[in-house]
Amino acid sequence: MAFRRDVALLVKKHWKGCVLVECSALYNFNTLAILREVLRFVQYRQCSQKLSTAQTAQAVWQRNQCCIP
């Protein structure tokens, strides 16, 4: 138990500014929220410019359209 606490303190020191969100895959608790945040972060990092709210909504709408060839 002490080892786990030491590891948690070490992570806390090295990850200053990061938000800790607990989740449980077993009970499906906060898993979608975490994946959503990770994907937003990755998309934000990949975009060179910050999109407006309208542009973001339009992009989401276009991605969610059904394409049947």
11 inside domain = no
Sign (positive or negative) of CA dihedral 22, 24, 28, 32: positive
Q: Residue 13: inside a domain, yes or no? A: no
Is 3 within a domain?
Answer: no
Q: What is the DSSP letter of 1?
A: -
| Domain encompassing residue 31 | 21-48
Is residue 43 situated within a structural domain?
A: yes
Within a domain: residue 55? no
Does residue 40 belong to any structural domain of this protein?
A: yes
Cα–Cα distances (Å) from 63 to 56, 58, 59, in that order, read 11, 9, 6
pLDDT, one tens digit per residue, over 37-64 is 888 877 777 775 666 677 777 776 666 5
Find out whether 7 and 20 touch, Cβ atoms under 8 Å. Answer: no
Residue 13 one-letter amino acid: K
User: Is 36 within a domain?
Assistant: yes
Looking at the structure of the chain, the number of domains it has is 1
Tell me, what's the pLDDT at 45?
73
Q: According to the model, what pLDDT value does residue 61 have?
A: 67
The structure's pTM equals 0.37
